[in-house]
Structure 1
Amino acid sequence: MTFSLIGRCARTGQLGAAATTSSLAVGARVHAVAPRIGAVLTQHRTDPRLGPRGIALLRSGCSAEETIAALVASTPDHKWRQLAAIDAAGRTAHFHGARVKPASNAAHGRDVVAIGNILSSDEVPAAMAEAFAADPSLPLAERLVRGLEAGEAAGGEYGDVRSASLLVHGDHDFALVDLRVDGDAAPITRLRALWEEYAPLVDAYVVRVIDPDNAIAL
């Protein structure tokens, strides 16, 4: 019972992911993102090892499509896995194993791929991708949150979600945004509130890392 998306900002080169599910700790298991390299989703009977493995493939020069093909070929239990990848050029790919439970689907758009399983409607990923693509001028994190919100509005999971996460990387080898909600009755709503509180601080936290002499008190 998971729906998620990964996306790229063509203006900034930022890469990110957002996800929600019925169990705890979606942010610890489902997505992997590397700056200027790409991002990977692994869900359904989730194998969190596939995220870092996918990032290594992308880093080696594989496209999103080649990365997914290699992950499937190297994973004996691929019939249980639902995977997606985006590379630094914004190309996307996905895989649904034969035992991924319905309703499940995927949707691709410019610089985005959304996937989901055990959904109330197979239209959920398309709603997510459309919301992400609607205004490319917005910050990537905002577009990802809007994607989750659109997925929920389109019906979301078959049951209730309990955790949600948002992860964005820019030029540096640390996350610009890494927000997680666990054990909440409305995790997407809570994630929205956290992002709106954190958004004005993103640049200040970057300055603390790269130019601490000029950092401001927070």
Structure 2
Amino acid sequence: MTFSLILRDPETGEFGSAISSSSPAVAARCVNLADGVGGAHSQNVTDPRLGHQLIERLSAGDSAEQALANVVATADPATIDYRQLLVLDAEGRAAVFSGGRALGNFGSASRENAVAGGNMLASLDVLDALVDTALSASGRIEERLYAALQAAIAAGGEEGPVHSVGLSVVGNAGWRITDLRVDWHEDPIAELGRVLEEWLPQRDDYVSRGLDPSAAPSYGVPGDE
């Protein structure tokens, strides 16, 4: 019911996530990112705790492969076979676990600085479309993530329609500098594109607002002068 991508930009140090599903509010449950550390997704009959644990292991110095092995080994043996886990570390190394009870047509694809995974897919071509498009597209990391989502849909997407999508990015601000979600929509990826177009020109200024309010521009929100 989900396809997703974690991407590292080696030039900026930013990490980003793009995820879509037929289920509502997928990004709220599945996505974990940490400045300078990496990213992790816990999906397919999601246990959000596993994503948090993967980030904790990366923060402690584990590689993606080490973090994944540790979390899988200590997970509940009665449930881990239902899970799908994706990890990308600070060096751009990827690791994936897909339990034997993952749903439908499932799999993963990884390259340096990118990893994708999915289940209930129309075909595994969707995963290569995610990774290859993200790595070859131009623009900011958000634009590359969005292009990857569009390519995934063009490659067939899920077996059925998707209804929710999320796109998140961390840099070095201490919070998600982009965190956009469409939690239920007939065409969530198109709707996300509309929101992203509005957001991107303002992204860096909202970082400035948080770090130095006196130097930040106003966007006319209540309380601004």
TM-score bracket for this pair, using the shorter chain length: over 0.9
TM-score by length of 1: 0.97
Aligned residues: 217
Partner of 1:209 in structure 2? Answer: 210
Q: What displacement does 1:193 show?
A: 1.2
- Give the AA of the match of 1:190: E
Contact 2:205 2:217 in 1 (8 A): yes
Q: Does 1:119 align with 2:121?
A: yes
Q: What displacement does 1:71 show?
A: 1.5
Gap runs ≥5 in structure 1:
none
Structure 2: how far apart are the matches of 1:87 and 1:183?
A: 30
Q: Does 1:128 align with 2:130?
A: yes
Partner of 2:17 in structure 1? Answer: 17
User: What is the root-mean-square deviation in Å for CA atoms of aligned residues?
Assistant: 0.9
Q: What displacement does 1:4 show?
A: 0.4
Contact 2:51 2:85 in 1 (8 A): no
Structure 1: how far apart are the matches of 2:51 and 2:135?
A: 24
Contact 1:17 1:144 in 2 (8 A): yes
- Give the AA of the match of 1:93: A
Partner of 1:143 in structure 2? Answer: 144
Q: What displacement does 1:78 show?
A: 1.2
Paired-residue identity, %: 41
Structure 2: how far apart are the matches of 1:194 and 1:74?
A: 39
Partner of 1:37 in structure 2? Answer: 37
Contact 2:32 2:55 in 1 (8 A): yes
4+ runs of 1 displaced by more than 3 Å? none
Which one has a bigger Cα radius of gyration? 2
TM-score by length of 2: 0.94
Contact 1:110 1:133 in 2 (8 A): no
In the TM superposition, 1:10-159 aligns within 5 A as 10-76=10-76, 77-135=79-137, 137-159=138-160
Structure 2: how far apart are the matches of 1:186 and 1:142?
A: 18
Contact 2:126 2:152 in 1 (8 A): yes
